[in-house]
C-alpha cells in the first residue's frame, strides 16, 4: 500500500478558481464498477450539462496491464494521464456554451492509481509529469464520491462484461477503495460521500430521485 503522501498528491498547490455562479464542474468518483458513469449521465440530463466521460477502453495498454501489471503499468498510467489532461483542458471551451459540466472521473485519480501501480524511478517521473499538468487545471466545484465494498463492485463489474476486467480481484478493489478514502478525507474541495452499496439509483426511481436531490442541494450550498 502506498503511504498517504503519495495518494494525496502534490502539496501546497494553489487551486485554480472555477465559480459555480458562472460555470460548475461536478465530478462523480469512486472505485471501479461503482456506477460513476450512470450517475454522471443522470445528472447531466437533469442539469442540461456537458457530459465528460473517461476514455477507458481506448487505452491500448489496459488489457495487457491486467495481464502483467509490472510490465505495462507505466505505459497504461501515462496514456491515462495525457488523455485525461486533454479532456479536462478542453473544459474552458465548453464554458462558452454550457454552464455546467458533469464528469465521471476526477483528474486526480490519475495520481491515485499511479501511486498504487508505479514504483521507484517510474513513479518519480510520473509525479513530475502529473505536477506539471495538474497545476494548469481547476479544482471541481463538487465531487460526489460513490463508495461501495469490493464484493458489490465485483458483482457490478461482472454484470457489465468488459473482457479485460474478468480477472479483477477483490484485494485490488479494496486497495483502490482505501486510497480513495484517504484522498477524500484530505480533499481541498467539497466532497459529498454516498454509500452506493445502500441504494440502487439505476434501477430504483426513489433512490435515484433522492440522490439527485441530495447532489443538487449540495451544489446549491456550495454556490451560496
Q: DSSP 3-state assignment of 212?
A: helix
The yes-or-no answer on residue 104 being catalytic is yes
| Cβ–Cβ under 8 Å, residues 20 and 222 | yes
Grid look-up 464498477 returns: 33
* Of residues 135, 139, 122, 137, the one with CA closest to residue 183: 139
Q: Which member of 104, 108, 139, 141 is catalytic? A: 104
Task: Write down the H helix ranges in 58-169.
Answer: 62-67, 69-89, 91-94, 109-117, 120-134, 150-160
Looking at the DSSP assignment, which residues form a beta bridge with residue 156? none
Helix and strand counts by DSSP (H, E) for the chain: 10, 5
3-state secondary structure of 39: helix
- Torsion angle of the four alpha carbons 117, 105, 177, 152, in this order, in degrees rounded to the nearest 10: -120
Using CA atoms, how far apart are residues 54 and 209, in angstroms rounded to an integer?
24
Q: Residue 37 in contact with residue 53, Cβ under 8 Å? A: yes
**Catalytic sites, residue numbers:** 104
Amino acid at each position: 500500500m502506498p503511504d498517504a503522501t503519495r495518494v494525496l498528491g502534490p502539496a501546497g498547490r494553489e487551486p485554480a478558481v472555477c465559480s459555480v455562479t458562472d460555470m460548475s464542474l461536478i465530478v462523480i468518483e469512486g472505485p471501479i464498477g461503482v456506477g460513476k458513469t450512470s450517475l454522471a449521465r443522470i445528472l447531466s440530463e437533469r442539469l442540461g450539462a456537458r457530459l465528460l466521460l473517461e476514455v477507458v477502453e481506448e487505452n491500448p495498454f489496459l488489457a495487457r496491464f491486467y495481464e502483467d501489471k509490472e510490465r505495462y503499468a507505466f505505459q497504461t498510467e501515462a496514456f491515462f494521464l495525457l488523455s485525461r489532461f486533454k479532456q479536462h483542458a478542453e473544459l474552458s471551451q465548453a464554458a462558452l456554451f454550457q454552464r455546467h459540466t458533469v464528469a465521471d472521473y476526477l483528474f486526480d485519480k490519475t495520481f491515485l492509481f499511479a501511486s498504487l501501480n508505479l514504483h521507484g524511478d517510474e513513479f518519480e517521473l510520473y509525479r513530475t509529469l502529473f505536477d506539471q499538468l495538474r497545476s494548469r487545471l481547476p479544482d471541481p466545484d463538487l465531487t460526489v464520491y460513490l463508495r461501495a465494498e469490493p464484493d458489490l463492485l465485483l458483482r457490478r463489474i461482472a454484470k457489465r462484461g468488459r473482457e479485460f476486467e474478468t480477472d479483477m480481484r477483490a484485494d485490488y478493489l479494496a486497495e483502490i477503495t482505501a486510497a480513495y478514502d484517504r484522498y477524500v478525507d484530505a480533499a481541498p474541495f467539497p466532497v459529498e460521500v454516498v454509500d452506493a452499496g445502500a441504494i440502487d439509483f439505476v434501477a430504483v426511481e426513489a433512490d435515484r430521485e433522492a440522490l439527485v436531490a441530495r447532489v443538487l442541494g449540495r451544489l446549491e450550498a456550495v454556490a451560496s
